[in-house]
Structure formats: C-alpha cells, structure tokens
Structure 1
C-alpha cells in the first residue's frame, strides 16, 4: 500500500477514493475519524489520507486527481427559475432545467 495524498476533509477524501476506484485503482481512506482529535494532535496529522492498494498505480492516480482539479467551473443563470448555478453543474439543482447551450 502507498499513501497517495491527504484530503482537506472527509467529503473530498471519499470523492477522490471513489474516483480512483472507478478508474480501476483500488484505494481506501485512512484517518477518516481522526478529525475528532484535532487540538490534541497537530492538525496535519488529523487530515484524512488516500491510500492506494497497488504502488504501481501512483503516477496514474496523481494524474487523475490533477485532471479532476481542473474540471471546468461555470456560473450560469437558469432561464426557467432564475437560480444562479455555480460549479461544474449542467443542470439546475432547483428546477432541473438544463444549462443553456
């Protein structure tokens, strides 16, 4: 096993783990409950970590996470309900209308 990286929070750690697993690189999240010890331990030691099952996946896994960080982020106004949508979403979370093309 190889420690790939630390995540800023448990939600991001789970998202990264799922992304890697779906790409055929078995991964796990370690230290996911250590946040409760913040204040007792140094903050850097309490962050969740992503571990790869196979060290030979390390380069490909890092490339995939870098690619994920560079996903296009948009800001658009839903024509149907007027909701302001931010991020990589192509559908309005409020009414379900698709992003205008």
Structure 2
C-alpha cells in the first residue's frame, strides 16, 4: 500500500476514493475517525488519507488525483428556465421543480 493523497476533509477523501475506484484502482481511506483526536495529536496527523492498495497503480492513480486537483470549481448561480428558481451553477436539475438545467449551462458556456 502507498499513500497517494492527503485530503483536507473526509468528503474530499471520499471524492478522490470514488475517482480512483472509477478508474479501477483499488484504494482505501485512513484516518476516517481521527478528527476527534485533534488537540491530542497534531492536526496534520488527523487528515484523511487515501492509500492505493497495489503499488503498480500508483502512477495511474497520481494522474487521476492531478486531474481532480486541476478541475476548476464552479461557483455562481443559474436560473431555471421552467420556474425561474436560483440554482447553484453546478446543478444539472432544478432543486425546486426538477427541470433540466443543461440547456442553460450550455448557453452560458457558448456565450463566454
């Protein structure tokens, strides 16, 4: 086993784990429950870590992690064309009425 990623929180570690598993790279999360020990141990020792199981997957896994780290975060708001409700820009469906937001996202990207 080899450590491939140290996450800032458990949610981020789970995202990286899921990305690795989708690439057929078996991995595990360690320090899942260590946040409760902060104060008794250094906080850097409590960060969730993602470890790959097979060392031969390390280079491929590193590329998956690098792609994740380079992916820009989407912020902003888009309005649903059906009900005019505000939705976060990364939503694909309106949270209120369930209508698709893909057309709105596509039009926003084309106009940029």
Q: Which deviates further from its counterpart, 75-84 or 54-63? A: 75-84
CA RMSD of aligned residues (A): 1.9
Q: 1:61 to 1:94 in 2, by over 3 A?
A: farther
Structure in which a larger fraction of residues adopt helix: 2
Deviation at 1:39, TM superposition (A): 1.0
Q: 1:47 to 1:72 in 2, by over 3 A?
A: closer
Q: 1:43 to 1:17 in 2, by over 3 A?
A: same
Structure 1 unpaired stretches of 5+: none
Say yes or no: does 1:41 pair with 2:38: no
Deviation at 1:45, TM superposition (A): 0.5
Normalised to the residue count of structure 1, the TM-score between the two structures is 0.84
1:1-101 aligned at under 5 Å gives the runs 1-69=1-69, 70=71, 73=74, 75=76, 76-99=78-101, 100=104, 101=106
Say whether the 8 Å CA contact 1:38–1:46 is kept in structure 2.
Answer: yes
- Which stretches of structure 1, 4 residues or more, deviate above 6 A after TM superposition? none
Counterpart-to-counterpart distance in 1, 2:37 and 2:75 = 37
Counterpart-to-counterpart distance in 1, 2:90 and 2:62 = 21
Q: 1:8 to 1:23 in 2, by over 3 A?
A: same
Structure 2 unpaired stretches of 5+: 107-112
Counterpart-to-counterpart distance in 2, 1:41 and 1:72 = 31
Normalised to the residue count of structure 2, the TM-score between the two structures is 0.77
